[in-house]
Structure 1
Amino acid sequence: MLHTILLTLLIIVALALIVVVLLQSGKSAGLSGAISGGAEQLFGKQKARGLDLILHNTTIVLAILFFALTIAVSYFDI
């Protein structure tokens, strides 16, 4: 019973994580954006605001939930 509930929650969280990641806007395009994107995100002066901030925080929460539920499902799969 517990395994079924955890597995259902894991599927819902996985689908939500996919949707939230796909809704986020790309930071920059092309190879130059891929190279400088990390440095700009780390040292950039503009912080994310509005919808981008909400999606970013939601992605972090869903990723933590995903890993916790995955560990729980594997632990209770006895």
Structure 2
Amino acid sequence: MIFAAEIVLVVLGVLLIFVILLQSGRSAGLSGVIAGGSNQVTNRRSKGLDSFLGKVTVVLAILLFLLTMLIAFLFHHLK
């Protein structure tokens, strides 16, 4: 049981990293000023996608935290 939970934990961690990397940075406006603004025209993302990725990030982070607590509980009580 603990082994299966650890595998799910690793998968959740990789998914969380992937979703975080897909999000546009908060300082995207400043990088556009430095680069001349050319990347703002070519790399536009819809606000709906950023909002969705933000919600997915929160859900994945909560699941990761809860699963980590469950593994710690199981490891402590089954050992």
Structure 1 partner of 2:47: 49
Whose radius of gyration is greater, 1 or 2?
A: 2
User: Which sections of structure 2, spanning at least 5 residues, go unmatched?
Assistant: 31-45
Query: In 2, Cα distance between the equivalents of 1:58 and 1:7?
Result: 21
Structure 2 partner of 1:12: 11
Report the residue type matching 1:53 in the other structure. S
Please, which of 38, 63, 66 is the counterpart of residue 65 of structure 1? 63
What stretches of structure 1 move > 3 A for 4+ residues in a row?
A: none
Identity among equivalent positions (%) equals: 41
Compare relative contact order (CA 8 Å, sep 6+) and give the higher one, 1 or 2. Answer: 1
Using structure 2 for the length normalisation, give the TM-score.
0.69
Using structure 1 for the length normalisation, give the TM-score.
0.70
Report the residue type matching 1:5 in the other structure. A
RMSD over aligned CA atoms reads: 2.0
Aligned length: 61
| Structure (1 or 2) with the greater helix fraction | 2
Query: In 1, Cα distance between the equivalents of 2:10 and 2:51?
Result: 24
User: Which sections of structure 1, spanning at least 5 residues, go unmatched?
Assistant: 33-47
